[in-house]
Homo-oligomer: A and B are copies of this chain.
């Protein structure tokens, strides 16, 4: 049964955590199971009628270009809209600073392709977004992991790793995936100062920044960096590449993300994107533009915030009510996730099996670490955007049953 492909060549893709998670997510599709495992938006908040109107308008007035090949950089009116949208968050970008990508995942892949040579080190938070590790792994990245706490990356521990010369830092400052924590104002300034001191650029990944449910918006790293450089020339210089997406505010099925970067970086990324997929779906871009325009995006984000804030609150309340005191969790001010820490000696892989028996699922936290320390086994990522409030309450009740059963038995025997 072997083929030339297999017998002659060691196929490069490795069996990895990603496969484990894929299998896990398949498991979690079984009927009756309540899943906190995915990172999906609630389908109830998709603006379906607005999509219907947008499709009709695009196809009635602009069908030719919307169905044709397009520019690798993206549909120009959409790029302009993104630049204007960024300005609302104090990110002063022009159309030349914006590249539309096939979701934020492609942005991570293109950045990996541009910057990482095999063996290069990338500084990441511990834990960090699994999809970034997958993208960077493909280019042979090694990692320097710096822990986080409730105020995000522990910048006081950063210098030892920066001295080892990472190629760049990959940072999720807002409502981090998986932990839900936010980098404090003070640490943002420290991070930018250290990046400058050691000459290490930053990739700032901000898919959830707009989904803040309480507290004040904090300045993005890309804005602080520009202030630090004290050069008021828009975006022609700058050492932070900023990423965001429409996946959490309009619909992930569009696969539309974007990169904001200096034009010289954009132009390199455009060349790589051309080789990767020529350009992102023009039809999806035209439709997204029609959906988002005229202030709709901001108005719709307000609606989403209300829905997700309620779900977060229901989850926090249920955790408080059902979980034993030995277990702790983060209190995210926005985003889609919170992060549970189990007491020492318990591990999340064993708990996962018990949880499945109770018909509830989550992602064990070890998937989100570049390395495998004992610390990585004690966490679970819980998503609160996809299940509805009733499911959240019932799911946390079930999970608490599994947690209590695990607590009452012997410490884990599974090495993770």
Q: Which residues of A contact B (CB under 8 A)?
A: 1, 3-9, 11-14, 16, 18-19, 22, 38-41, 43, 46, 48, 51-52, 55-56, 59-60, 63-70, 72, 102-103, 105-106, 109, 113-115, 117, 131, 134-135, 137-138, 167, 195, 199-201, 236-239, 241, 247, 251-255, 262, 264-265, 268-269, 271-272, 274-284, 287
CA distance A38 to B71 in the complex (A): 12
CA distance A199 to B56 in the complex (A): 52
Whether A4 and B55, one on each chain, are in contact in the complex, defined by CB atoms closer than 8 angstroms, is: no
Whether A68 and B252, one on each chain, are in contact in the complex, defined by CB atoms closer than 8 angstroms, is: yes
Whether B68 and A48, one on each chain, are in contact in the complex, defined by CB atoms closer than 8 angstroms, is: no
Whether A238 and B3, one on each chain, are in contact in the complex, defined by CB atoms closer than 8 angstroms, is: yes
CB < 8 Å neighbour of A283 from B7, B52, B114, B254: B254
CA distance A381 to B72 in the complex (A): 22
Whether A11 and B114, one on each chain, are in contact in the complex, defined by CB atoms closer than 8 angstroms, is: yes
Whether A68 and B55, one on each chain, are in contact in the complex, defined by CB atoms closer than 8 angstroms, is: no
Whole-angstrom distance from the CB of A165 to the nearest CB of chain B?
9
Whether A200 and B4, one on each chain, are in contact in the complex, defined by CB atoms closer than 8 angstroms, is: yes
Whether A199 and B4, one on each chain, are in contact in the complex, defined by CB atoms closer than 8 angstroms, is: yes
Return chain B residues, CB-CB under 8 Å to A247. 69
Whole-angstrom distance from the CB of A282 to the nearest CB of chain B?
4
Q: What are 5 pairs between A and B in contact, CB < 8 Å?
A: A3-B201, A106-B276, A131-B278, A255-B279, A284-B284
Return chain B residues, CB-CB under 8 Å to A200. 4
Whole-angstrom distance from the CB of A200 to the nearest CB of chain B?
7
